[in-house]
Amino acid sequence: MCGATTGGLSVEGIDITKESVVQGVVLRGQQPVAGAYVRLLDSGGEFTAEVPTSVTGHFRFFAGPGSWTVRVLAPGAEPVDRSVVARQGAVAELEVAI
């Protein structure tokens, strides 16, 4: 993908100091999974956002500081949940295997 960096998405053009980014990649084996659905759930388990993964299997959220759950849905796979802590001014990177 244009602008992609090793290990994650480019943050070019985004003022990271104002954002609490949660991002990552979805893998099946070692292969990135495009078109998986990634949902961000708040500390109460409530839906906050959802994005499909890019052609390189990447996803990104602009969360708030705090604890979040990332849930991945993909064809032919059971849903997978991962916990993550977001901090303002930082990028939390995840690798989610399905």
Partner 1 sequence: MSRSDVLVDADWAEAHLDDPSVVLVEVDEDTSAYDKGHIPGAVRIDWKADLQDSVRRDFVNKAQFEQLLSSRGISNDQTVVLYGGNNNWFAAYAYWYFKLYGHQDVRLLDGGRKKWELDSRTLVTDVRDRQPTTYTAKEQDTSIRAYRDDVLGAIGSLNLVDVRSPDEYAGRLLAPAHLPQEQAQRAGHIPTARSIPWSKAANDDGTFKSDEELTALYADAGVDLSKDTIAYCRIGERSAHTWFALHELLGQSSVRNYDGSWTEYGSLVGVPVQLGDEAGNPEGGNG
Q: Which residues would be at the binding site for partner 1 (CB under 8 A)?
A: 14-15, 18-20, 35, 37, 39-40, 42, 44, 46-52, 60-64, 71, 73-76, 79
Q: How far is the CB of 28 from partner 1 (least distance, A)?
A: 14
For partner 1, the closer CB: 6 or 17: 17
Residue 7 or residue 76: which is nearer to partner 1 going by CB? 76
**Shortest CB 29 distance to partner 1, Å:** 18
We find the least distance from the C-beta atom of residue 94 to partner 1, in angstroms, to be 14
Q: Give the residue with the Cβ less far from partner 1, 27 or 41.
A: 41
The residue among 27 and 88 lying less far from partner 1, judged by its C-beta, is: 88
CA distances from 6 to 67, 75, 82, 90, 98 (A): 25, 26, 21, 17, 21
Type of residue numbered 77:
A
- What is the four-CA torsion angle of 54, 59, 60, 64, rounded to 10 degrees? 150
